[in-house]
Structure 1
Amino acid sequence: MHPSARIAAAIEVLDDLETRRRPAGDALKDWGLARRFAGSKDRAAIASLVYDALRRRASARWMMKSESPRAEMVGALHLARGQTSDQIAAAFSGEGHAPPPLSEAEQAALAAADLSGAPAWVLGEFPEWLAPYLDRAFGEQAAEEGRALAARAPLDLRVNALKGAREKALAEMAHLGAQACRFAPLGLRIQQGQEGRAPALSAEPAYARGLVEIQDEGSQIAAKIARAKPGEQVLDLCAGGGGKTLALAGDMDNRGQIYATDSDGRRLTPIFPRLERAGARNVQVRAPRGPSHDPVGDLAQACDLVLVDAPCTGTGTWRRNPDAKWRIRPGALEQRIKAQDEALARAEKYVKPGGRLVYVTCSLLCEENEDRIAAFLAAHPGFSAEPAAESLSQAGLSGLDDAVSPHGPGLRLTPARHDTDGFYAVVLRRAQS
């Protein structure tokens, strides 16, 4: 496909997203299935254009003075890819499969390229209705944090301690440019390639035999804060696909027991091949069998550690899912808050005296993080929040002093400050008696 035809196709996908309000991955897949003539490189290039437009949607619309998918693409070509007005005009020639020529209004908007006077939600590339929430979380840094969340994310890997050391993995993956992560002691980072393409990990021997797993550095830090120890009884209450379960298994050196469960048993499906590949032998997967069945009911006040990787709005993952920010609605936040309170209330039942309850979200909103912990502690006086500095020290993590939350107990990791996805983590302790 000619580059101009790829742009036209990307505009078509953006129009589908605007009309049907569905994940970008689904729209791109359907587009490719309906157009078998498009090769893998074409599909990858179109996906890259779509995601660039989604990352810069707010500023592109503001600059172009239009909310159309075409305006988003024109703006993104300039703002995200640095193309000049002449280069964009050449691509929008109207010839063959190219988009129609630029109008006089579009040419004028491109020539001005004016974002002066734009509010923080435009400069930060996030929905306007979220502005008060991000302003509360970050104040004057809201736009800066938003821009960091709009950037492309690197590919982060966690070295599986059950299979080898980080030095071994670095040597095996040197051809991909792998580097040690800044904070996570077992983290590796590979920068995205041309047009945001990551390497095909499934073809890498280190991945195939379980030496490395895909996991953002922020998620690795959150798991490390939990401090799972060999011999402990550990419950991962919202295990999903098992990313943090695997990290806990590595920290425990296959000694002790991890119980992995989830309110939706379907989310547990990916965990089984991952456990086998990782060589994690101390994990019991317990799926629910009906709404009234508690698969971990026998663990009441028996666990040294209960991890709650709570359902959330996912505002911290926008680098990887830029379309998600435009699909989220205020009602979703209310639903997530309810689910978080329910998860915390359930989790405390399994924590033994002197045990730990670790609450984690991939959200940056105070309403899902510090506010939930404040409400939980008010309702459960037998628990107390561990100071964030102590959590870092006991986990052996350094260089993260600026991650201590200014809004309450816990840690906040952000792409602008730490070059990770956005995460919140806090350790709660149950009194001995």
Structure 2
Amino acid sequence: MNRAPAPALFQHAIAALSEVLRLTHPADAMLSRYFREHKQLGHRDRGFVAEAVFAVLRHKRSLEALVMPQVNSRRLLLAHLACHQDLDTEALGSLLRGGEAELVEHLRQRRDAIARGEDCLDPAGPLSHSAPAIALDLPDWLYQRLLAQYGAEEVQALVGALNRSAPLDLRVNSQKAEREAVAAQLAKDGIASQPTPYSPLGLRLKGKPALSRHPLFLEGAFEVQDEGSQLLGLLLNPKRGEMVADFCAGAGGKTLLLGALMRSTGRLYAFDVSEKRLANLKPRLARSGLSNVHPVRIDSENDTKIKRLAGKLDRVLVDAPCSGLGTLRRNPDLKWRQNEQAIAELTAKQTAILNAAARLVKVGGRLVYATCSLLQEENGAVADAFLAAHPEFVAVPVAGLLADQGITLPGLEAMPENRLALLPHHHDSDAFFAAVFERRPG
């Protein structure tokens, strides 16, 4: 059986959870701020607090149903420890206040009914219509969209995978190191790893060791990057000496991969509207040893800096701003922070960005549209609309592009229009979508 935390650590978890549950900012940013304000917490203590907070976020809806009608951070955390960590009243004794022993026993008795999708309060009560969504810890709107898109059985498996913590993947910087050598050095340092199933550059670690001070990290030999994200860069597959753009570069994880694939030759633009995100790229770029990356802040997708490059680029990656719902393993708060109106606004933005990026691509050049979303509205619908509006572009089957690099993905032939659709229960990566286009003469 798991052990209960010390009472002081339990109080820290409650306080941090209360901050995060405001849902005003991303959970990881809120936790980082909390830890900065409580420097007395060591690595292990921070690990407990973070894991507890993220576990409650993953299972927030079913935990709320369990503790209703009195929902607060303390009761939610107790419900998590009792029902997910299987701690009974004896194990939790030092944490419990008056009446909470009875609450814990009550929670443990009701958890199985929740998991079966039964109404948590009353089979004829106000929550009965939402029982499946409660059991899967989804808001009603998202459950209904996923159900319509994937079907009940697939949704069950998909959400089960999304509600588990993601593994820690690394991408080896091929400019500085070989994957086997990095794995061997990590093993010497007590960090076990194995090659990722699909990416030839990836390592998947056992556990989640601290890496920010590891010599290999400081030397730029690897970056933390989910295997699915690595595959998006490999789909673009830029060559030596080409002109390439990462149109929505963010903090630059894919930019660094593209630069390494180009062997630090040619010219690679990292465009983004956020000065802060591009600033975060600078230390990573310095570690990487790349000299072909040119970060450029833009005002919008229609910035004159972009227009000057019309028809000149060999390859363009559009990792578009999206709902992020494919990253729920890492960012479970997103399912509570997103809503239907936000999705509609995002699809309009994605369409505008893809149209603007397409203007940069030369004849014969490649354009990749990608998201980390699960939703058809942000994925296939945007790709289909783009093709309908741009007869000068044709779709390129994904399977052949990956096969040329020795990558075989299970289920690729069943993906719509042979596009890339990575899903955690099939590929053990975050969920990603990608469509590939080529500009033809005309």
* Structure 1 residue 263 corresponds to structure 2 residue 273: yes
Query: Aligned-pair RMSD on alpha carbons?
Result: 2.4
Cα distance change on mapping 1:385 and 1:327 into 2, 3 Å: same
1:50 matched to which residue of 2?
A: 53
| Residue ranges of structure 1 left out of the alignment (5+ in a row) | 95-99, 193-197
Provide the C-alpha distance between the structure 1 equivalents of 2:34 and 2:229, rounded to a whole number of angstroms: 32
Aligned counterparts, 1:374-393, within 5 A: 374-393=384-403
Q: CA deviation at 1:243?
A: 0.8
Provide the C-alpha distance between the structure 1 equivalents of 2:244 and 2:35, rounded to a whole number of angstroms: 43
- Contact kept in structure 1, 2:256 and 2:288, CA below 8 Å: yes
Provide the C-alpha distance between the structure 2 equivalents of 1:405 and 1:60, rounded to a whole number of angstroms: 36
2:156 to 122, 143, 153: 143
| Residue ranges of structure 2 left out of the alignment (5+ in a row) | 119-130
Aligned counterparts, 1:24-423, within 5 A: 24-32=27-35, 38-66=41-69, 67-84=71-88, 86-88=90-92, 90-94=93-97, 100-102=98-100, 104=102, 106-113=104-111, 114-115=113-114, 116-118=116-118, 119-140=131-152, 141-174=154-187, 175-192=190-207, 198-288=208-298, 293-398=303-408, 400-404=409-413, 406-423=415-432
- Contact kept in structure 2, 1:404 and 1:411, CA below 8 Å: no
Cα distance change on mapping 1:292 and 1:253 into 2, 3 Å: closer
SS of 1:58's partner is helix
Provide the C-alpha distance between the structure 2 equivalents of 1:405 and 1:367, rounded to a whole number of angstroms: 19
Cα distance change on mapping 1:319 and 1:291 into 2, 3 Å: closer
- Contact kept in structure 1, 2:117 and 2:135, CA below 8 Å: no
SS of 2:336's partner is helix
Provide the C-alpha distance between the structure 1 equivalents of 2:107 and 2:233, rounded to a whole number of angstroms: 47
Q: CA deviation at 1:26?
A: 4.2
Aligned length: 421
Larger mean Cα displacement after TM superposition, 337-346 or 224-233: 224-233
Larger mean Cα displacement after TM superposition, 279-288 or 25-34: 25-34
Q: CA deviation at 1:215?
A: 0.7
Q: CA deviation at 1:127?
A: 2.0
SS of 2:369's partner is strand
TM-score, length-normalised on structure 1? 0.90
- Contact kept in structure 2, 1:7 and 1:49, CA below 8 Å: no
SS of 2:433's partner is strand
- Contact kept in structure 2, 1:157 and 1:215, CA below 8 Å: yes
Cα distance change on mapping 1:109 and 1:349 into 2, 3 Å: same
- Contact kept in structure 2, 1:123 and 1:143, CA below 8 Å: no
2:124 matched to which residue of 1?
A: none
SS of 2:304's partner is coil
SS of 2:434's partner is strand
Provide the C-alpha distance between the structure 1 equivalents of 2:132 and 2:51, rounded to a whole number of angstroms: 25
Provide the C-alpha distance between the structure 2 equivalents of 1:272 and 1:34, rounded to a whole number of angstroms: 26
Q: CA deviation at 1:251?
A: 1.2
Provide the C-alpha distance between the structure 1 equivalents of 2:308 and 2:230, rounded to a whole number of angstroms: 29
Provide the C-alpha distance between the structure 2 equivalents of 1:297 and 1:103, rounded to a whole number of angstroms: 66
Provide the C-alpha distance between the structure 2 equivalents of 1:80 and 1:127, rounded to a whole number of angstroms: 20
SS of 1:22's partner is coil
2:125 matched to which residue of 1?
A: none
- Contact kept in structure 2, 1:302 and 1:352, CA below 8 Å: yes
Provide the C-alpha distance between the structure 2 equivalents of 1:25 and 1:235, rounded to a whole number of angstroms: 28
Q: Which amino acid aligns with 2:170?
A: L
Q: CA deviation at 1:394?
A: 2.9
Provide the C-alpha distance between the structure 2 equivalents of 1:124 and 1:7, rounded to a whole number of angstroms: 26
Q: Which amino acid aligns with 2:194?
A: Q
Provide the C-alpha distance between the structure 1 equivalents of 2:59 and 2:305, rounded to a whole number of angstroms: 44
Q: CA deviation at 1:381?
A: 1.2
Provide the C-alpha distance between the structure 2 equivalents of 1:29 and 1:235, rounded to a whole number of angstroms: 31
* Structure 1 residue 426 corresponds to structure 2 residue 438: no
Cα distance change on mapping 1:147 and 1:355 into 2, 3 Å: same
SS of 1:319's partner is coil
Cα distance change on mapping 1:102 and 1:396 into 2, 3 Å: same
Q: CA deviation at 1:46?
A: 2.0
